[in-house]
Structure 1
């Protein structure tokens, strides 16, 4: 279980650097995946965002320090990444329910958020549907790209689609799509960057459709080479279960192509799918 070992090494690294600045890129490097995929994978596995996990572990450690030593509150605050005693006090009270100064009183209740560990649990009660698709020819997409912050991608991308629906861009894509289908990768598409391993702080999320003609004014094109894909129904559910259930046991590796969110036309079942580029064994 090399994958599982790497994720637990990430937790060890976090634990050893709670009193230092933690580089999220270094965490992704340890996990051997991109920033983009690592944040989603961590949240899916742990049920908590990476930043929130680190925050809770630091505040847990801060409470221990305050109880066991006579270190000044501001010094403890600075140790765990807070620039002022006020900001530390607000965060501390939000988690523990009391002020930092009060935790030194005997008998006060505190909350300890423990270090987590990842283990593989085999669940046989819910299947994860997928299929393998081989697209043996080049596909040209027409549309528009938007710059997205990698760490906030899963919050920003839904707002891009909402904006596109309001300003008519979504309808324009719909009018261009679902004509002369060449393969099952049809519909309105969301292309996540240039490759599955997104290592930069920002990437381009491209909203478009397969289109063989000249791109319309204000649009650009993206070319997807012949490739192999693992395809999962239900985009949101697929993202949630991809790294916790499918990747660790599938034996496949991600290819150097972008993941694509595919939203189909009326009457199509399923309504949307996640296309994940893979390298076949």
Structure 2
């Protein structure tokens, strides 16, 4: 996977003026576009689409300063109009094209990325692979903005709006794994930008044959394999560290890749003030079949 990501970075550099065939590259490495985009976002801290935009605007800035014709610059870097290019330029650099031409800046440079795998091995990850038949997730859901770092206040507001007695009712309904009250993130595009919407559901897992109360929102989950990480410690720091370690250590070191589906956090035990907790982090996966490093 590290080789695939570095090859992808090289392809981006050679195709800043055109389309980038991520699906084709992923296929050459025996994996999927979904997994490549998810791993890129996790390791780079930004979606691939945002990285491409930043690299385009980094190189375009030199042409802007040189006084090249604006439409020519826009077309060269994949934009169909000067208006679209100018919006992207302002979003990346925080300055208008005219101001940069007049003053030479300010400019925000995006260096070319290079991925490296360093596995220290001093903190083994507690992981298991489970095959699950189809089940459903039932609870209360809302569309919320995606937040890449820190606590998502929109999700906090959803949870705070649910009365304590409803939490108890939901927990009593749970009849299959993942057990207990669940925090579910669904409908997340692999290349989603920060601020784009996802579906957050606060609820429980039910057997596919269980009758679901009519007042609950439902996410149907097909059968498949899952990797389950057990996490204990300070909350939410330990859980956030596990998210990061799954991308930097576990997936590059194991023959599994992410597949589309919801990610689930099951809170098994917690301190009264929620300062510490024991959780399970569930990701839908499938066997990876790498074909070795490709030129």
| 2:292 match | none
Native 8 Å contact 1:260 1:275 kept in 2: yes
RMSD between superposed Cα atoms in Å: 4.5
Q: CA deviation at 1:240?
A: 2.0
Q: Which residue of 2 aligns with 1:83?
A: 82
1:43 to 41, 44, 60: 41
Structure with more of its chain in strand, by fraction: 2
Q: Where does residue 209 of structure 1 map in the other structure?
A: 204
Q: Choose which of 1, 4, 17 in structure 1 pairs with 2:2.
A: 4
Change (3 A) 1:220 1:64: closer
Distance 1:273 1:121 in 2: 24
Check conservation: 2:86, 2:96, Cα contact below 8 A: no
State whether residues 228 and 280 of structure 1, in contact with CA within 8 Å, keep that contact through their aligned partners in structure 2: no
Distance 2:179 2:247 in 1: 25
Closer, same or farther in 2 for the Cα pair 1:280/1:168, shift >3 Å?
same
> Runs of 5+ in structure 2 lacking a partner?
232-237, 289-295
Once the two structures are TM-superposed, the CA of residue 99 in structure 1 deviates from its matched residue by 1.0
Output the CA distance in 1 between the equivalents of 2:189 and 2:71: 40
Q: CA deviation at 1:252?
A: 3.0
Partner of 1:115: 112
More helix by share: 1
CA contact (8 A) 1:191 1:206 kept: yes
Question: Where do 1:1-281 residues align within 5 Å?
Answer: 3-20=1-18, 22=19, 26-27=21-22, 30-31=25-26, 32-33=31-32, 35=34, 38-66=36-64, 71-80=68-77, 81=79, 83-84=82-83, 87=87, 90-91=90-91, 94=94, 99-103=100-104, 112-124=109-121, 126-132=122-128, 134=130, 141-146=137-142, 152=146, 158=152, 161-168=155-162, 172-177=166-171, 185-193=178-186, 205-211=200-206, 214-221=211-218, 222=220, 225=223, 227=225, 229-233=227-231, 234-254=238-258, 258-267=262-271, 270-279=277-286
Would the aligned equivalents of 2:4 and 2:25 in 1 still touch at CA under 8 Å? Answer: yes
CA distance, structure 1, for counterparts of residue 89 and residue 133 of structure 2: 59
- Structure 2 length as normaliser, TM-score? 0.65
Q: Partners in 1 of 2:280 and 2:14 — Cα distance?
A: 39
* Deviation sequence 1:198-233 (CA, Å, 0-9, x none): 799987554321356642232255456585533242
**Residues 224, 285 of structure 2: 8 Å contact kept:** no
1:133–1:229 Cα contact (<8 Å) kept: yes
Q: Cα offset for 1:169?
A: 6.4
Larger mean CA deviation between 5-14 and 247-256 belongs to 247-256
The Cα of 1:160 is off from its aligned counterpart by 5.5
Q: Please give the secondary structure, in 1, of the residue aligned with 2:94.
A: helix
Q: CA deviation at 1:249?
A: 0.6
SS in structure 2 of the partner of residue 76 of structure 1: helix
Q: 1:160 to 1:262 in 2, by over 3 A?
A: farther
Give the gaps of 5 or more residues in structure 1.
Answer: none
Matched pairs, number: 264
Structure 2: how far apart are the matches of 1:169 and 1:280? 41
